[in-house]
Chains A and B, each alone.
Chain A
Amino acid sequence: MMELICPAGTPAALRSAIDAGADAIYCGFNDETNARNFPGLNFSRDEMRKSIALAHGRGARVLVAINTFPRASAVEIWHRAVDDAVSAGADALILADIGLMDYTARRHPSQRLHVSVQAAAANPDAIAFYAETFGAKRVVLPRVLSVPEIAEITRESACETEVFVFGGLCVMAEGRCSLSSYATGKSPNMQGVCSPPSHVTYEQTAEGTKSSLGGFAINRFAATEPAGYPTLCKGRFSTAQGAGYIFEDPVSLDATTLLKGLRDAGVTALKIEGRQRGRAYVESVVRHFRHALAALESGSEADIASLKPFTEGQASTLGAYRKTWR
């Protein structure tokens, strides 16, 4: 059966994920070493140790994400995160930076290493490079691939593959996007944040609610429309060719109906996005996928309860997995 990999932004969310049936939980330290570096989120060293012990006691694994790109002249902060995660008993480290993978492979050769989606390994040659050079055991695939492409990559892959099945959807190649820092000075790669709340404003105008990021209008909503969060690539813009959602509609990924295809493709693990989300999200989404996986296993029809309340703009998509735009 495919593994279910679930997000946890707090020790409480980690417990909820285990209760709801997670095979593994991924989380990070409460600093700039991980790509969900939001205030009040993530684990102290002590919390990480205790949470890993708790998870192990209940048969679940913990994958520690150290997936930002270390700041020059401060690389030791990331080295310390790696060392501490290893000594806390992490089952795997999820890394994006090539220098940090090099460090980990040399310093902790027996530590299991996963290639983060932020490393943008989008084909078997890139995956083989990570597997051969650093002994990576698993790669998290970008959200830009279709199911047939995932199948082809997995068939040729030098290591296990893990794919996102639910949550926020990057339409740009992950780990290779500076849109956020262009508008705000803060980026996923460097500060571990995208379109950060600190740079968001909402303003009432004659035409409705305007949301802005770093001073750039990202969207405008009529009084009857819910005002969505201004994630840069999900905004409404205008061009000489027309206006609207130029990059992507404000939707979330939901691949519930594609689980069979992913299993047949040989995918090892399914990942749920959302370390920044609360316990209710974690609990509901994990339970939903645990149920769907059990149904898949027994060959019965899954009762696919709608996850709409947990999706961005209350709308979901199969994302690139069904490539209607190819």
Chain B
Amino acid sequence: MQLSLGPVLYNWAPERWRDFYFRIADEAPLDVVSVGEIVCSKRSPFFADHIPAVVERLQNAGKQVLLGSLILVSLRRERRQTEELAAVEGAMVEVNDLTCLRALAGRPHAIGPFVNIYNEASAAFHVAHGAKRICLPPELPLASVAAIAKAIPDVTTEMFAFGRVPLAISARCYHARLHKLAKDNCRFVCEKDPDGLLLNTLEQQDFLTINGVQTLSHTCANLLGEAGLLHESKVGSLRLSPQDCDMVEIARIFRDVLNGRDDADGGNRRLAAAYPGVPFSNGFLWAEPGHLYHRARAGDMQGVAPKIGAV
């Protein structure tokens, strides 16, 4: 079972962003790292200068690097950005919007969790057009995941296994709207919330997270307890999505459980300590409301842990 790191979704200060990846390169037990600004094209220029050094450092550390494409492409500048990304020599693009596919024209690529693949026929279509890795939508239940992964055995199927769950993307920026600013003059207010902005119900129940044009869950996806089941279902990679916490430690916890050095319960305790105050969720995988978390089912993992260590 591989471990991958999704792109940073929040607006982090550029130096912090760079240093985060340097440390990930040096210390995190990850196989694949996807980088690039995929949420808001206005943020991209801040990171552009650091990308070459980050990619080099990650590759030198033996990690496969994917370049993530924008989730929502509408402006001319965003189309150009997407086209340029597809033209980068020798790079593996992670497609987050079909806009990319035309420019990629069948060249090998990865598919991110923002592309709608709900069934084996769609997955097969993408494989026939050059997809080598597919991270499935977080909304999918286990039965669908298993059916899709089984149908595309030559491709690495991945599940979103840690991090706040991306739920929606919009042309409108909710950070700007909240600060009574126009999107074109947003003053990058989203940088004040490196782990997103909490949205409560009127009864003060924690509900969602706002990240500019993106809306995520308040809960943190945690499929550590389902890793064994996912492995049996031919899922070949688990994706960790960066939050404002020690992601090297998060990667170590997942690796330890996959290798059988720790069990799921122990791993869950360590995850809760590493990313405190944010409840876990795994409801989507069980075809239930996405915010729910079934601790009981986490026990399914025990006994199969040593088996998935053999990667």
Contacts and interface: CB of A to CB of B under 8 A. Distances in A.
Interface residues of A, number: 70
A258 interface: no
- With a 10 A CB-CB cut-off, give which of B73, B74, B124, B200 has the most chain A CB atoms: B74
Interface stretch (B26-34, B60-68, B244-252, B280-288): B280-288
B118 A69 contact: yes
Contacts of A190: 118, 139
A144 B168 contact: no
B79 A183 contact: no
A185 B120 CA distance: 21
Contact of A241 (B124, B169, B178): B178
Interface of A: 69-75, 96-100, 102-103, 119-126, 128-129, 132, 142, 144-145, 149, 152, 171-173, 175-179, 181-185, 187, 189-190, 210, 214, 216-220, 233, 235-243, 246-248, 320, 324-326
Interface string B143-154: 111011000000
B72 A129 contact: no
Given A70-B121, A75-B121, A217-B203, A246 B73 contact: no
B172 A123 contact: no
B125 to A, nearest CB: 5
Contact of B174 (A70, A96, A123, A247): A247
A178 B139 contact: yes
B199 A123 contact: no
A75 B119 contact: yes
18 contacts: A69-B116, A72-B148, A75-B121, A99-B119, A100-B121, A120-B72, A125-B102, A126-B98, A171-B172, A182-B208, A183-B289, A185-B283, A187-B139, A220-B202, A236-B202, A237-B208, A246-B174, A325-B182
Given A72-B147, A239-B210, A326-B183, A144 B171 contact: yes
Contacts of A189: 116, 118, 139
Contacts of B290: 178, 181-183, 185
Contacts of A100: 121-122
Contacts of A152: 76
A248 B82 CA distance: 29
Nearest to A99: B121
B116 to A, nearest CB: 6
A237 to B, nearest CB: 5
Given A125-B73, A240-B197, A172 B122 contact: no
B167 A177 contact: yes
| Most chain B beta carbons < 10 A, residue from A123, A144, A152 | A123
B289 A185 contact: yes
A70 B116 CA distance: 11
A239 B178 contact: yes
A128 B82 CA distance: 15
A70 B71 CA distance: 22
Q: Secondary structure at chain B's binding surface: helix, strand, loop or mixed?
A: mixed
B223 to A, nearest CB: 16
Nearest to B136: A72
A179 B116 contact: no
B178 A246 contact: yes
Interface in B104-156: 114, 116, 118-126, 137-140, 143-145, 147-148
A132 B217 CA distance: 36
B138 A178 contact: yes
**A-B pairs with lowest CB-CB distance, top 8:** A99-B121, A99-B122, A72-B144, A144-B171, A69-B118, A182-B290, A72-B147, A172-B168
Contact of B217 (A182, A184, A242): A182
A238 to B, nearest CB: 5
Nearest to A175: B116
B99 interface: yes
A135 to B, nearest CB: 15
A112 to B, nearest CB: 20
Interface in B75-104: 76, 78-79, 82-83, 97-99, 101-103
Contact of A216 (B103, B126, B173, B205): B205
B58 interface: no
Nearest to A172: B168
B5 to A, nearest CB: 22
Given A176-B72, A239-B197, A325-B172, 11 more contacts: A75-B119, A97-B119, A102-B121, A128-B102, A129-B99, A129-B102, A178-B284, A183-B290, A183-B291, A239-B178, A325-B173
B89 to A, nearest CB: 20
A204 B43 CA distance: 44
